[in-house]
Amino acid sequence: MKQYYVYIMSSRSRNLYTGVTNNLERRVWQHKNGLLKGFTSQYRIERLVYFEAGNDIRVAISREKQIKGWLRSKKIALIESRNPTWADLSEGWYGKADPSLRSG
């Protein structure tokens, strides 16, 4: 069954970006390597600080919109409810290989 992820990325200075994807590992790699032009590359949004998974894209998109509509303080509370130290949850995911080239 296909998985969909709502995720929040952060810069070191805690600028936040909320997104949705069907391949979290690939999308985070794209953020970390500046391949997504615009806000995320401009502000160096490179740390995965929160994510949730589900199997319905409509629910994931709705949740992404919900979170994007929240005040910053509520987003911070959500992150800190699961990740109080703002650790990069993708730490150790990558070697040198591009995850988009992996099979599976």
73: CATH? 3.40.1440.10
Name every residue whose Cβ is closer than 8 Å to that of residue 82 and which is 6 or more positions away in sequence.
50
Q: What's the number of domains the chain is made of?
A: 1
Tell whether 94 is covered by a domain: no
pLDDT in tens, 76-93: 999 999 999 999 999 999
pLDDT at 104: 45
pLDDT at 102: 52
Domain of 32 in residue numbering reads as: 4-87
Tell whether 104 is covered by a domain: no
pLDDT in tens, 1-57: 899 999 999 999 999 999 999 999 999 999 999 998 899 888 999 999 999 999 999
Q: Find out whether 11 and 43 touch, Cβ atoms under 8 Å.
A: yes
Tell whether 92 is covered by a domain: no
Lookup result for tokens 């615009």: 38
Tell whether 60 is covered by a domain: yes
Tell whether 37 is covered by a domain: yes
Instruction: Give the max Cα distance, the chain.
Output: 39
Tell whether 99 is covered by a domain: no
Tell whether 98 is covered by a domain: no
